[in-house]
Structure 1
């Protein structure tokens, strides 16, 4: 039987080693690469052509959502399972939007972890029971509606340049690439990104991408 080739992506080495130990105990699994940033995920996926990528969200350079989207473009045969502590419904939906075929939380049991890898390798989707429950929850409560109105108001505060940059961020471009496309310096792009986070009330790139996907900033 051919082994399922797996790439583990997480910026915490202890986390990577923990999951690698589990995978190494399975005779039909093999870890072909470890990545500690989104950029490494892309580079090592090209070099090793894994069947499955176990992807954290909060990583430097490119975050997990950006890396997942890039992989979907580069090689749709690679199956991405998000392995994260983020249990927010919006984050899970954002991961699905960019091409993840599985989403599990890091407190997953060993047997469920193994099942997730086996299922996505066969072309199926896998969402842990906790994630499935979160996705099935209704979000029509007053707080959600209030937040939606707030987001719409924030959207009107964005300049045309900020909207342009947000679209490129959601599409997975780095600061340097955005600067080259728009003929501005990467420092100027970084300033726009900081302003976007402030205006939209998010604290990291994952939140910025989630907002962009939910509000249609996708080419």
Structure 2
């Protein structure tokens, strides 16, 4: 049984999500909140979930501040953001603070369920809409600029590593990248570590932030 707390300040939306989740035998919504403060109160009273699904924009304490607090005080709780905000900067900040999933509110039912199941097992998930938005931006870019080539030479980044970086930016796991590029999972893990080392990034979220800031991905 996957125990879930829903943090959403619109009651109608929250009730709709709750009905969808509770139609599945493996999910149990054990708590509801309209702000980050209410979530912390639930936790302090012993209502501790496996998954927290939270909006970003909420009164008193928003979702990003809540993720910050949970990472420190309740690191075992896995956080999925469910928001209308599809700006890549919010996505990066949410993952940087410790979220493991990011969904937009018009996400399909099957994708919602898969995300919860995947995150509950320790995976990370980025919804299709945002992944495709990233891909569209990449496809719209002109051929590699001189500045990009210069940066790649400066940090000794190979074409294959850039390809892996783009797929990481789409939210793919090592196994998904391995399948897509016809590589072994161990090889992809090596590329990911090389990227972290070459960009001096401490984790994947920092790597993506570096890549966006330096126009390696957009």
Q: TM-score range by the shorter chain?
A: 0.5 to 0.7
**Partners of 1:7 and 1:45 within 8 A in 2:** no
Within 2, Cα distance between the matches of 1:53 and 1:10? 11
**Partners of 1:84 and 1:106 within 8 A in 2:** yes
- C-alpha change, 1:76 and 1:134, in structure 2 (3 Å) is farther
Which residue pairs with 2:84 in the alignment? 85
Within 2, Cα distance between the matches of 1:59 and 1:12? 9
Q: Could you tell me which runs of 5 or more consecutive residues in structure 1 were left unpaired when the two chains were aligned.
A: 142-213
Q: CA deviation at 1:135?
A: 4.2
Which residue pairs with 2:184 in the alignment? none
**Partners of 1:5 and 1:29 within 8 A in 2:** yes
Q: Tell me whether 45-54 or 104-113 shows the greater mean CA deviation.
A: 45-54
Give CA deviations for 1:19-43 in whole Å, capped at 9, x if unaligned.
0001110001000100101111122
Within 2, Cα distance between the matches of 1:11 and 1:63? 10
Which residue pairs with 1:37 in the alignment? 35
Which residue pairs with 1:28 in the alignment? 26
Which structure's relative contact order is higher, taking Cα pairs within 8 Å and 6+ residues apart?
Answer: 1
Q: Secondary structure at the match of 1:48?
A: coil
Within 2, Cα distance between the matches of 1:106 and 1:100? 16
Moved over 4 A (4+): none
- Which one of 5, 8, 12 corresponds to residue 7 of structure 1? 5
* Count of residue pairs brought into register by the alignment: 141
Q: TM-score normalised to the size of structure 1? A: 0.60
Q: TM-score normalised to the size of structure 2? A: 0.61
Q: How does 1:53-92 map to 2 (within 5 A)?
A: 53-92=52-91
Q: CA deviation at 1:133?
A: 2.6
Q: CA deviation at 1:89?
A: 0.9
Which residue pairs with 1:207 in the alignment? none
Within 2, Cα distance between the matches of 1:135 and 1:10? 26
Within 1, Cα distance between the matches of 2:134 and 2:62? 22
Within 2, Cα distance between the matches of 1:13 and 1:79? 23
Q: Could you tell me which runs of 5 or more consecutive residues in structure 2 were left unpaired when the two chains were aligned.
A: 142-211, 214-218
Q: CA deviation at 1:45?
A: 2.9
Q: CA deviation at 1:131?
A: 1.8
Q: CA deviation at 1:126?
A: 1.1
